[in-house]
A and B are shown apart, each in its own frame.
Chain A
Amino acid sequence: MMLLLAAGTAAGILVATTLIGPKKEFADKMEPFECGEHPIVSPKLRFSVKFYLVAIFFVIFDIEAVFLYPWAVIFKDLGIFGFVEMMIFIIILAIGLIYVWRRGALEWQ
């Protein structure tokens, strides 16, 4: 019920402003404000593949981090057994980090 009310209020305000508010559309207004130049231009240059590499590393280490949540929840119950298995997991991925680092994949050149 609360949720419906909240959603309804938000939607209502949006609808109301679009209905009631004055509408004057012209080219300059429809553009985001940016000093002196047109902000929306098609990028001539492609994005560098380096961004992609960073994104991949983000995904991978994100997944690693995610495994820590359930582990933390039952850490006390698992005791040393859980500690060892998580350490193996982390060490293997730490080797991945060392590798990436030493390989120079983190440098932007």
Chain B
Amino acid sequence: MEILIPTIKLATIYPEIIITTFAILVLLLQVFPTVIGKDYLGYTSLAGVILAAIITGQGGASGEGGEAIYSFSNMWVVDNYSRFFKLIFLLGTGLTILISIKYTKDEGINNGEYYSLLLFATAGMMLMAGGTDLIVIFLGLELMSISLYVLAGYVRKRLISNESALKYFLLGSFATGFLLYGIALLYGATGTTSLKGISGFISEASFGSPILIMGMLLLLIGFGFKIAAVPFHMWTPDVYEGAPSPITAFMSAGPKAAAFAAFLRVFIEALPSLQGIWVDIIWVLAALTMTIGNVIALVQDNVKRMLAYSSIAHAGYVLVAFVSTDKLGVASILYYMLAYTFMNIGAFAIVIIIGGKGEEKINLKDYTGLAYRYPLTAAAMCLFLLSLTGIPPTAGFMGKLYIFSAAIKSGYVGLATIAVLNSVISVYYYMKIILAMYMKEPESSVQHSPLVFTPAMIIALGLAVYGVLRMGIFPSAYISMAQQSYLSF
């Protein structure tokens, strides 16, 4: 019997191939240590990330003009949307590697596996952004999640890190189960796992079969867990607090963006005919997520934990834009995720610097009087926090502005009002850190060990500061990039 062998455009997955190859390379360099020293493993993986970013930026394949290129039997697409997200992931991974280099040495976890798993997670995220078939999206999600479970527990001698990994794994695999069951039900209802096929089938059959709706709800729960939306957020504070700080920074930026990428694509591309149902649910999720994230963040003294709740709240803001589902909404999500990557990884970089060896100084009191000792560091932290709050002239302000205006234009004034009120609440806890840094005298009784700055860390901080300011002051270039990304959708 003849078998039709599909034509394959290998060029469409070059960035993914590069990331995977470097992940394997770093892994092998770890076990064959004679080739290069262990100190260069981080830089090797960084080279891979940069290479992949360049190729993604060039269009991956022949994607000029921004038209989408499908390949692998329509399971894979290179379009501006996926390219924009891939650049966000690569940026997040690159920054994470930069802030990890000293940290891993301090904690005695300077292994090839650390970087290898980071790269595997990145590959998984990229697959989530470019997959147009539920199977590919699911496998990408699993690749990302499994790497993250391990990374969260990477510092094995620290009990809290183990706890974090275990919680993340148990709850994460539960959520994966929901997602998989949702995919199975969608397949059962439509007979296909391809996003186009599903939407085609639903519009032809034009009925809201209960199986279909149940599948959609399960998918919603699965993705809701991955983006840490309330009420599926329970894992976030503990996991973020326990995981090594660079990994926390990574988790809050890349994987969250990846989950949003897949979430948006699945719901807008495959289930537009059920929009009437899911928009209402996401409306409620958005309102809950913002409010609960911000309110609980108010009472946190541990800065890492506070940033965890703040990241929940930010997922809520992004959900606000999701509700509007139009071009402006999607563009504002893209813009916001990029801005968030800069500002959040920046903030975590400072947390790592101040935390010092063994991550002991992560409470609010460790920040008192920082401005008197390290004015530049304090200024950078101040900038990131202002951006997270959404105060001009930062990237966070423009991001929130676009999200809120997208919501208002689509007629969700109520939700936008809740979002604005929440931003006001968030001022309080971000200001708490800023006040501690600037207004309080350093306690003379406490012995401060000097902070250590490495070149890699300074580069990462510089990039983050540049990104936050650049996107805040000259946002138009990024906005038009984000808007073009929707066109090909």
A55 at interface by CB-CB < 8 Å: no
User: Which of A74, A95, A99 interacts with B3 by CB under 8 Å?
Assistant: A74
Smallest Cβ distance from B377 to chain A, in angstroms? Answer: 38
B451 at interface by CB-CB < 8 Å: no
A87 at interface by CB-CB < 8 Å: no
Contact, CB under 8 Å: B28 / A77: no
Contact, CB under 8 Å: A103 / B24: no
Smallest Cβ distance from B474 to chain A, in angstroms? Answer: 43
Contact, CB under 8 Å: A98 / B31: yes
B204 at interface by CB-CB < 8 Å: no
Mark interface residues in B12-28 (1 if CB within 8 Å of A CB, else 0): 00000000000010011
A5 at interface by CB-CB < 8 Å: no
User: Which of B3, B24, B27, B32 interacts with A78 by CB under 8 Å?
Assistant: B3
Which B residues touch A102, using CB under 8 A? Answer: 31-32
CA distance A74 to B30 in the complex (A): 38
Which A residues touch B205, using CB under 8 A? Answer: none
Which range holds the interface residue count of chain A? 10 to 19
B452 at interface by CB-CB < 8 Å: no
User: Which of B1, B27, B30 interacts with A77 by CB under 8 Å?
Assistant: B1
B5 at interface by CB-CB < 8 Å: yes
Which A residues touch B3, using CB under 8 A? Answer: 74, 77-78
User: Which of B1, B2, B5, B27 interacts with A99 by CB under 8 Å?
Assistant: B27
Which A residues touch B28, using CB under 8 A? Answer: 95, 98-99
Size of the B side of the interface (Cβ < 8 Å), in residues, is 10
Contact, CB under 8 Å: A95 / B27: yes
A40 at interface by CB-CB < 8 Å: no
CA distance A102 to B33 in the complex (A): 11
Which B residues touch A99, using CB under 8 A? Answer: 27-28, 30-31
Which B residues touch A103, using CB under 8 A? Answer: 30-31
Mark interface residues in B230-268 (1 if CB within 8 Å of A CB, else 0): 000000000000000000000000000000000000000
Which A residues touch B5, using CB under 8 A? Answer: 78, 81
Known: A102-B32, A103-B31. A95 touches B1 (CB 8 A): no
Chain A to chain B contacts (Cβ below 8 Å), 15 pairs? A74-B3, A77-B1, A78-B3, A78-B5, A81-B5, A95-B28, A98-B28, A99-B27, A99-B28, A99-B30, A99-B31, A102-B31, A102-B32, A103-B30, A103-B31
Which residues of B does A touch, CB under 8 Å? 1-3, 5, 24, 27-28, 30-32
Closest 9 pairs (CB-CB, A-B):
A102-B31, A77-B3, A81-B5, A99-B31, A99-B27, A95-B24, A103-B31, A78-B3, A77-B1
Which residues of A does B touch, CB under 8 Å? 74, 77-78, 81, 92, 95, 98-99, 102-103
